[in-house]
Amino acid sequence: MDKEQAEPTTHFGYREVPESEKTRLVGRVFRSVATRYDLMNDLMSGGLHRAWKAFALNIAAAKPGERVLDLAGGTGDLAAAMAVRVSDRGLVVLSDINDAMLAVGRDRLMDRGTPRRLTYVQANAESLPFPDNTFDLITIGFGLRNVTHKDRALAAMSRALKPGGRCVVLEFSRPRSPLFGRLYDAYSFAVVPKLGRYVAQDEESYQYLVESIRKHPDQEALKALMEDAGLQRVTYWNLTGGIVAVHRGYKL
């Protein structure tokens, strides 16, 4: 009799865990940090995350009348901005797998006056509950590195895009300068978890977030993954020396 095959493993930060456990563990991280997520982003990046998102929005170039899906949309920064750009003739779907993050985002945007063209869906990026050829634009900001099977998520995005539609990925990446990379690592590991301890009362979750960045594919590897998923004309832009990159690909 064949021996029962061991369950495949994947990384959760620097730990190896069963694939079936990663979604639960990532979910626990974001439920823990949801209420302090925006404040921590400002503190960790010195406010730079706002400039990174603004650049990604310009690359995404949402237009009036378009249908847009923002995956792992968290507290709704990208979705809210794109809802303005698509106008009342368009639609933006703010989606996140994590119920706590989606609730914080929904409440925050409702407090600001939610546009009628913005709606909310809890969904797993690996198995999107939308028909083929639904969206003109799909974005995912600082969320792809937390997905267990990035190839499946990118394939799902490609499937859900209309022909001619575009996919934009905003994510941490690899600094281009080795010296800058060492300084960035020193800051990340020494400062970010401590901020998590004192501000979010959760050092462990921010240790995971720092580690997850190092396990994410670099610029060229992510470009190849997007091309393997069926996206074409994939290009990317490095921001802040490569700490962050914006990738864009088209479904042709």
Binding residues for S-adenosyl-L-methionine: 75, 96, 124-125
Look up residue 53 and give its amino acid.
K
Q: How many Å apart are CA 89 and CA 110, to the nearest integer?
A: 20
Of 251, 188, 208, which Cα lies nearest the Cα of 29?
208
Token pair recorded at residue 224:
């190849």
Counted residue by residue, the chain has a size of: 252
Could you list the residues known to form a binding site, using ranges: 75, 96, 124-125
Q: How many Å apart are CA 15 and CA 145, to the nearest integer?
A: 15
55-87 burial: b if 16+ Cβ within 10 Å, else e: ebbebbebeeebbbbbbbbbbbbbbbbbbebbe
- Burial environment of residue 120 by CB neighbours within 10 A (0 to 12, 13 to 18, 19 or more): buried
CB 83 within 8 A of CB 107: no
Q: Are strands 232-239 and 244-250 parallel, antiparallel or unpaired?
A: antiparallel
